[in-house]
Amino acid sequence: MPLKSAAGLSKWYPVYTHPRSEKKAFEALIKKGVEAYLPLQRQLKQWSDRKKWVEEPFIKSYLFVRIKEHEQTEVLMTKGIARFIYFSGRITPMPDRQINELKLLIASPYELEVTEQDLQPGENIIIKAGPLKGLKGEIISYRSQKQLALRLENLGYSIIVHVSASLIDRV
């Protein structure tokens, strides 16, 4: 049996959406018959008068489409889609394994958070918000965005602080 050419296979591609358009773009793609994946995470949102659980995009302004290379134009012509993500100057597909791993993570009971910060042990930081605001420390280990082991100044102890990476700044 002859093998299909690589150009004829559907592959996953990351797509960048317009701000706060992930869900609408996802729905428009599905309506067009395009296989798409929008990882959503349940979050408790606080308003002045109430709290409510809502489904928010896990990675803001991103979704994933499984298409053949010649279908890229159709995706770009979808309302809410801004562009494909480029790596090394070209649109590059993602391995199926990465999408499957992302789906497993989203389905897990663990609390997840995405950060663009590249946190490394030994970095000096300051907590910029929350009840620990103003505390300075050093990253001892980086277990996840919500579990940083910090050595706090003048205490001489390492304390594991469950704090979002978004609440710290490098010093």
CATH number of the domain bearing residue 152? 2.30.30.30
User: Domain check: are 26 and 97 in the same one?
Assistant: yes
Of the candidates 86, 74, 90, the residue with the CA atom closest to the CA atom of residue 35: 74
Report yes or no on 71 lying in a domain: yes
User: Domain check: are 89 and 145 in the same one?
Assistant: no
Residue 89, SS3 per DSSP = coil
Looking at the chain, the whole-number percentage of residues with pLDDT higher than 90 is 34
Contact yes or no for 145/114 (Cβ under 8 A): yes
Six-digit token string for 117: 């910060």
What is the spatial order of strands in the sheet that 35-37 belongs to? Answer: 35-37, 62-67, 11-17, 81-84
Report yes or no on 38 lying in a domain: yes
The CA angle 70-76-81, to the nearest 5 degrees, is 145
pLDDT at 55 over 50: yes
User: Domain check: are 86 and 21 in the same one?
Assistant: yes
Q: Which domain covers residue 15, as residue numbers?
A: 10-107
What is the reported pLDDT for 1? 41
Report yes or no on 114 lying in a domain: no
Q: Tell me, what CATH number does 75's domain have?
A: 3.30.70.940
Q: Tell me phi and psi for residue 142, to 5 degrees.
A: -125, 95
Q: Cα dihedral sign for 166, 26, 84, 86?
A: positive
Residue 25, SS3 per DSSP = helix
d(CA 55, CA 145): 20
Number of domain units in the chain:
2
pLDDT at 42 over 80: yes
DSSP string, 37-64: E--EEEEEEE-SS-EEEEEEESSTTEEE
User: Band of the pLDDT at 95, cuts 50, 70, 90?
Assistant: confident
